[in-house]
Structure 1
Amino acid sequence: MATISKLYSMREAAEHNNREDCWVVVDGKVYDVTSYLDEHPGGDDTLLSAAGRDSTEDFEDAGHSKDARELMKNYYIGELDPNPVIPELEVFRKDQPSGFTTKLREMTQQYWAAPAIIIGIAVVAGILYSRKN
């Protein structure tokens, strides 16, 4: 008899991202590693930094052994939903200012005094220098 896996959305997995409730996603599989945090050879901070996100690349880069991969089966709770529903997308118009241009405009309005002072000092220094000669 085949075992039916529970499907989890990435959004749902992302909600489990702390010491009391820690899930990681590796190769489309979801693992609840909360009870393994204190036993992890790399330390709990390694798992916590991977919690609530797809950490397949981090897992592969660490070069886990065959035994580690077997141990993962104990923490398996389901599969990542391969067909996630995107609840909503934010639409941007071309005439709508982007975050960068808005921040740049705010910075120039906020910090206009410093360049004005530097230019003013340069003008005064130039006038004083030209009077001496």
Structure 2
Amino acid sequence: MPTLTKLYTMEEASEHNTAEDCWVVIDGKVYDVSSYLDEHPGGDDVLIRATGKDATDEFEDAGHSKDAREQMEQFCIGELDVAPPPIPELEIVSKKKDLPQKVLNFTKQYWFVPVAVVGISVVLGILFQRKK
């Protein structure tokens, strides 16, 4: 029967960032190194600084031996969940349906504009007729 692998997000792994509770992520795997901090040859601060991010580059740059790589497997608690977050579904709204309502709202709000144009036209028409 295959062993089920627990998946963790980077956010979950980064919450474990103290000397009492320290997780690191290396090569897509999550390691709980809390019990190893005092034994780590580079010091506990190196491991604590590696939390909250993918520490693969730092691990590789340190030049760890084959024995160190084998030893770290005992601290593996799962894998990093690299699936992208779900994209929220967008609601599609037709602008054509909203247009009559927008025009109605516009005319209610600015009713005085057409009334003023008609009023000015009537006054100018009367004045023009009197001058003839």
Q: TM-score, normalised by structure 2?
A: 0.63
Equivalent in the alignment of 2:118 = none
Shift of 1:84: 3.8
CA distance in 2, matches of 1:63, 1:36: 18
CA distance in 1, matches of 2:7, 2:54: 15
Aligned residue-pair number: 88
C-alpha contact 1:9 1:84 (8 A) present in aligned 2: no
CA distance in 2, matches of 1:71, 1:87: 39
CA distance in 2, matches of 1:65, 1:46: 17
Q: Residues 32-47 of structure 1: matches in 2 within 5 Å?
A: 32-47=32-47
Runs of 4+ in 1 over 3 A off after TM superposition: none
1:30 aligns with 2:30: yes
Partner AA of 1:68 in structure 2 = A
The SS at the match of 1:39 is coil
The SS at the match of 2:57 is helix
Q: TM-score, normalised by structure 1?
A: 0.62
Equivalent in the alignment of 1:59 = 59
Partner AA of 2:80 in structure 1 = L
Shift of 1:49: 0.9
Q: Residues 73-84 of structure 1: matches in 2 within 5 Å?
A: 73-84=73-84
Q: Which has the larger displacement, 76-85 or 61-70?
A: 76-85
Residues 47-97 of structure 1 show CA distances to partners (whole Å, capped at 9, x for unaligned) of 111123210000000000000000011100000002042799xxxxxxxxx
CA distance in 1, matches of 2:24, 2:87: 22
Partner AA of 2:85 in structure 1 = V
Cα root mean square deviation, aligned = 1.7
1:20 aligns with 2:49: no
CA distance in 2, matches of 1:28, 1:86: 20
Shift of 1:6: 0.2
Question: Bigger radius of gyration, 1 or 2?
Answer: 2
CA distance in 2, matches of 1:9, 1:46: 21
Q: Residues 89-100 of structure 1: matches in 2 within 5 Å?
A: none
Partner AA of 2:3 in structure 1 = T
Shift of 1:35: 0.3
